Amino acid sequence: MSLEMLDVILSVTGGFVLLVMMSLIRRKKVTNYHLPPGPKRNLVFGNLMDLIYSSMITGEPSLLKFAKWSFQYGPICYLRFFRQRVVVISDARVAQQLCAAQSDKFSTRPPGLFLSRVLKGKGIVFNDGPSWKEHRNFITHEFRKFGFGNQSIEHKIQYVVDEYLRQIAKTNGGVHDPHTNIATAIYNVIWTTISGERFSWDDPFLHKIIANLETNLQAVELTGPHNYVTLLSIWHLIWHNAFRLLCIVMKRMFYFKQLICKYKKHRKETATSDVDESMMYDYLVKMQGSKLNGQLTHFSESQLLWLVSDLFIAGGETTITSFRWVLLCLAKFPEVQQRLRHEIMENFGRDSSPSYSQRTQLPYLEAFIHETLRFSCSVPGMWRNTTQDAKYENYDIPKKTWVLLHFWAMSNNTALWHDVREFKPERFLNNDGTFCKNENFLAFSAGKRQCPGESLARTELFLFTIGVLQKFRVTLPAGQDIDVHAGQFGVTYTPPHHHLQFIPIGV
C-alpha cells in the first residue's frame, strides 16, 4: 500500500472518529432534556439516512415521511439530522400552545435552512431579527390602513371578481385549464394592494411572472435532506441544475424590478391620489425620509424588491392554489356544489354581491371553504426555530431546535379527524346548521409568524367562490375523473393537473 493511500485512509478514519466524538459529546449534552418521542436515531447521522433513502432513493416527498413519523410517534415528534435537532408538530392545538402562548421562543426561522442561507435576510418570509420586525410592522400597518378586514378592500376584490367572471364567460363553456385566469385575478388583487394599479388581463408581462413563479415554487423543497447538511445543499444544487435555478430567481427579480421602475415612472408622470395611496408609495416615502434624517433603517431598494416578491408568493400563490382546489372540489363533488348554490341563491340571488361580513348567512359556504382548506392544505408545512429552551407539557424543546409546523399532517391526522380522506363540509357545522370552528384546524399558522394577509385570503376565497356559483356550473370534462388525493408537494400543495368547464346558468 502506498503512503498516499495510507494517508487518505487515515484521514477518512480520523474524520469519522471526530464525527463520532462530536456526536457523543452532543448526545451527552442533551441527556438532561426530556425529549419528545421519535424514531430510533443513528449515533452519528440521527434520522438523516432514513430521510435520504425515502426522499432521494424511493422518491417519497419528504413531507410525507415527516407525516408518517408524526402519525407513529404522536403530535410532537423528535428527530435529529446529523447535528440538527428537529421537532415535528402534527396537532393544531399543540401548535397554538407553543407558537401563540410562547411566541417569543418560536418566532424565528431556522438560520441553516437552505432558503434562509440563500436569501440572507432579504424579504419578510425567511427573514429574522430587526429587519423582519421592521418590515412585519410596516406590512401590518399598511394592511390596516388600506382596509384589510373591512369593505374598502372588498370593493377592490369585487372589481377583479367581476372581470374574472367576464373572462370565464368568454370560454363559452369550453374545456380549459383554469390556472391562468385564476392567477391573473389573484395577482391583480395583490398588485392593486401593493401599488394601487392593475394589470390588463392579457398583459404578456404578467403572464411571464405567472409562469416564472409557478416554475420557481416547483423547484423548491423546504424539508428535503439538503436543508440540514451543507454538503447535501451543494449536491442538491448540482442535481437540480443550480444554473437553471439561479436563472429562474434572477429572472423573477428582474421582472419585479421592472414593475417597481414602471410604478416610479408612473408616479412621476401622474401625481394622482390613486398612485400616492399605496403600500409602495408609503415604503418609498419612509425609505427616503430615513435617509434624509440619517435614521438607521432596514428599508432599502433591495428590500423593497424582495418584499414585493414575497407578497406575490406568500400573498398570491397560496391563494391561487387554494382557489384552484376550491374549483376542483366544486367539480368533483357536484352535490356539494348544488347545495352551495341553493344557499347563495336563497339568501342573495344571482346578481347581489354579499359582503364578507354577511358570511353568517351562508354557513354551508363557510364550512365548504374551511373543509377545502383542510382537505387541500395549500401550505403543507412551515419552519420555526426556538430561540430559547421551551417546554410542552413534560417534554423539553431545546434552544436552536428546528420546529416543523406540519399543517398537512394536522389536516390528515386520523386521530383528530374522522374519515380524513373524505370531503365533508359538515365537519364545520353544528347540528342546527350554523358554522362552527374546529380546534383541530389551522390554516394560517399561529403566533408572531401568523399570516398577516389571512383576512385578505379569506375574503378573496369567499367573494370569488360566490361569484362563480352565481353564474356558472363547474364540471369536469365528460368522461374524465381526477384523483383529488394526487396533489404535488412543494412550497405549496398543488392539485393534480386538470381541466374544467364553466357552464353558464340560465337567467
Flag whether pLDDT at 358 surpasses 50: yes
Q: Dihedrals φ, ψ of 473, to 5°?
A: -105, 120
Flag whether pLDDT at 26 surpasses 60: no
Residue 504: name the closest of 187, 170, 270, 35 by CA.
170
184-232: per-residue pLDDT in tens? 999 999 999 899 889 999 999 999 999 888 877 766 677 777 777 666 6
Flag whether pLDDT at 140 surpasses 50: yes
195 exposure class (CB count in 10 Å sphere: 0-12, 13-18, 19+): buried
pLDDT given at position 311: 92
Q: Give me Rg for the CA atoms of the chain.
A: 24
pLDDT band at 471 (very low <50, low <70, confident <90, very high): very high
What is the SS3 assignment for 504?
strand
**Other Cβ atoms closer than 10 A to 435:** 18
Could you state, in order of their start, the residue ranges of all structural domains in the chain?
A: 51-504
pLDDT given at position 18: 56
Flag whether pLDDT at 20 surpasses 70: no
In terms of pTM, does the model score above 0.85? Answer: yes
pLDDT band at 30 (very low <50, low <70, confident <90, very high): low
Q: Which amino acid is at 460?
A: E
pLDDT given at position 385: 92
Which residues sit opposite 404 in a β-bridge?
88, 383
Residues annotated as binding site? 451
pLDDT given at position 12: 45
Summarize the confidence of residues 32-40 as an average pLDDT.
93
**Hey, what CATH topology would domain 51-504 get?**
Cytochrome p450 (1.10.630)
Flag whether pLDDT at 507 surpasses 60: no
308-348: per-residue pLDDT in tens? 999 998 889 999 999 999 999 999 999 999 999 999 999 99
Classify strands 501-504 and 472-475 as parallel, antiparallel or unpaired: antiparallel
Residues annotated as binding site for heme? 451
Mean pLDDT check: name the lowest of 125-129, 376-380, 455-459: 125-129
Contact status, residue 499 vs residue 482, Cβ threshold 8 Å: no
78-116: per-residue pLDDT in tens? 999 888 999 999 999 999 999 888 888 998 888 877 666
**Other Cβ atoms closer than 10 A to 260:** 18
Q: Which helix (H) or strand (E) holds 76?
A: strand 76-81
What is the rounded average pLDDT for all residues in the chain? Answer: 87
Summarize the confidence of residues 480-485 as an average pLDDT.
93
Q: Where in 346-500 does DSSP place strands (E)? A: 382-385, 390-392, 395-397, 402-405, 472-475
Mean pLDDT check: name the lowest of 66-75, 97-106, 446-455, 485-494: 446-455
